[in-house]
Amino acid sequence: MTTSQFKAEVFQNQFLPQGTRDVHAIMTITSEDVVGMAATPNRDRVFGIICDVSGSMQGEKIVAAKQAMVKLIRLIPEDTHFFIVTGDHSAKVVVPVVPATSQNKERAINLIRAIDANGTTAISTWLMEALAQFKKMPDAIRQALLLTDGQNDKSDDRALLAALERSEGIFQCDCRGVGTNWKVAQLQQISNRLLGTTDIIPDASGIEADFQAILGKAMSKNISDVNLRLWTPQGARTIFCKQVSPDIVDLSNRAKPVKPQVVDYPTGSWGKDESRDYHFCIEVQPGNVGDEMLAGRASLMCTLNGVETKITEAKILAIWTDDEAKSTKIDRRVAHYTGQAELAQSIQEGLEAQAQGNLDVATAKLGKAVQLAHESGNEATAKLLRKVVDVEDAVTGTVRLKRAVAKEDAMALETRSTKTTRIPKAGQ
């Protein structure tokens, strides 16, 4: 194995005015070919399906979910293991972890067809049953797909937090909400903690295509349990560490100490030709003009054949200068992702203000979001914004709130507000 299978680059303006403490850097990590690294027990994969069968799923939703699960089971490669958990106020293991043989698939499909929907919603119980199944294959790449159409019961809040704490680092989970009666924040709480994604499926007819896309992505993973290790010098502290592409995920509170001044941040599983960006902000002891220091060293770490292995590394530097032309220049990638984070925050605050009836604040925040989306070329987010506001001038962020907004459009904007765009390669 060579480190060339992963490539790491750091983008920053390393020149700081005298007295400045904060060092910002964007680290781009690209997996060029991790297939050679997968000749380990990590080659095994487990794909878990967690499906809501509470009473609100009755009718076309449960019919569509069952049809999608049947299609999904048929598409799972034979060298993969799978299981199915259904849940309402409790959880049921419909199919325990089994190899995806033709015989096991047919047995699973027959059991899926017998599934019915009733009861309330307690997602903690679903996750705990899934966790028990994943623990049967501790060396595998472990990915779950959770589908629900409703809100988790408030009485389950504490149990859900405990389930997430126990599941973190064991498996990843993509969450999908069908219809508009679920809460974005609830599913994002799960997917953020379990390094997955959350999205809306507005209509039950879209479940099948979405399930297949998630399965395809899960099957592309070749290496699991990869950590981003950050060393910082004595006296320094990390203000934040965030994944900023393809989605914004704040990893700051997920740091696990390795030894003094060294922490690990989880990044989950990786596949071939995958690229992600991370934003570090490190506070260091300020230097004098002409001083140089290594402000941080970021490494990608994984365990291969039982041995902890460094697979790539990049350095974060700081040089203090009195040259204003050098020190005032903001690295364009740092500026870009700072703007993308502000874009996501503006959308979330704008939608919250609108829901509370504070229309002036909502207009200002969503107008700022339109302006930021325009400046950064985030057309996907701009398109979603145009469904909730009438844009008079994108350059200045002049907008009017639409009088009637479909609930699924507002939820899609909220759900996808953390999806970022990159600086086009031609401009690099």
The DSSP bridge pattern shows strands 91-99 and 81-87 to be antiparallel
Q: Over the stretch 311-348, which tens digit does the pLDDT of each residue have?
A: 899 999 999 999 999 999 999 999 999 999 999 999 99
Which tokens hold the place of 286? 């300020």
The DSSP bridge pattern shows strands 198-201 and 389-393 to be unpaired
- Predicted pLDDT at 32: 78
- Predicted pLDDT at 6: 87
Q: Over the stretch 233-288, which tens digit does the pLDDT of each residue have?
A: 999 999 999 999 999 999 999 999 999 999 999 999 998 889 999 999 999 999 99
Using CA of residue 136, residue 73, residue 179, residue 85, what is the dihedral sign?
A: negative
Do 131 and 159 contact (CB within 8 A), yes or no? no
- Predicted pLDDT at 38: 43
Q: Over the stretch 195-228, which tens digit does the pLDDT of each residue have?
A: 999 999 999 999 999 999 999 999 999 888 899 9
Amino acid at 43: R
355, exposed or middle or buried, with CB in 10 Å at 0-12, 13-18, 19+?
Answer: exposed
**Neighbouring C-alpha atoms within 13 Å toward the C-beta of 428:** 7
Which tokens hold the place of 45? 């994969």
- Predicted pLDDT at 39: 39
106 pLDDT more than 80: yes
Helix (H, G, I), strand (E, B) or coil at 247: strand
Give the number of other Cβ atoms within 10 Å of residue 293's Cβ.
18
The residues pairing with 17 across neighbouring beta strands, listed in sequence order, are 321
9 pLDDT more than 80: yes
Q: Tell me which residue of 239, 424, 412, 416 sits closest to 343, measured CA to CA.
A: 416
427 pLDDT more than 80: no
Query: Across residues 92-113, what is the average pLDDT?
Result: 97
